[in-house]
Amino acid sequence: MFETTLKPQPEFENKMYDMMYQIAEKAQQDRDQLNDFPYLLSKTQLAKHVFNVSTQTLDAHIVRRSDFPKINVGDRVLYPKDDAIKWIKDHIDLTNDTTMERKLLSL
């Protein structure tokens, strides 16, 4: 019979704590950076800082949707930062469901 035992590395708990601390610190910095933006974002700001995609990708897949929050200010279209983030949170499951359907249909 084959037997194995697992032994934690020295200082494993400290290494895990440091890693988790760095992740939490990065998340805090990202949130603080997003809070520094104005309430209404341009398409470029929205693409770069909220979606992390190009403006072409954002335009093709997101902002043309009728349910995506936007406001017309004169000739400009601006995007409420908080509403855009809420829209993302509300549509995460929809994206996952769509992806699963595509995988099932392709089998």
Dist. CA 56–CA 88, nearest whole Å: 18
Domain residue ranges in the chain: 39-106
Q: What's the CATH architecture for 39-106?
A: Orthogonal Bundle (1.10)
Q: What is the DSSP string of 18-84?
A: HHHHHHHHHHHHHHHHHHTS-SEE-HHHIIIIII-S-HHHHIIIIITSTTS--EEETTEEEEEHHHH
Q: Please, what is the Cα angle at 36 between 30 and 39, to 5 degrees? A: 115
Each residue's pLDDT tens digit in the chain (107 positions)?
Answer: 778 777 777 788 888 889 999 999 988 887 777 778 889 999 999 999 889 999 999 999 999 999 999 999 999 999 999 999 999 988 887 555 555 555 555 55
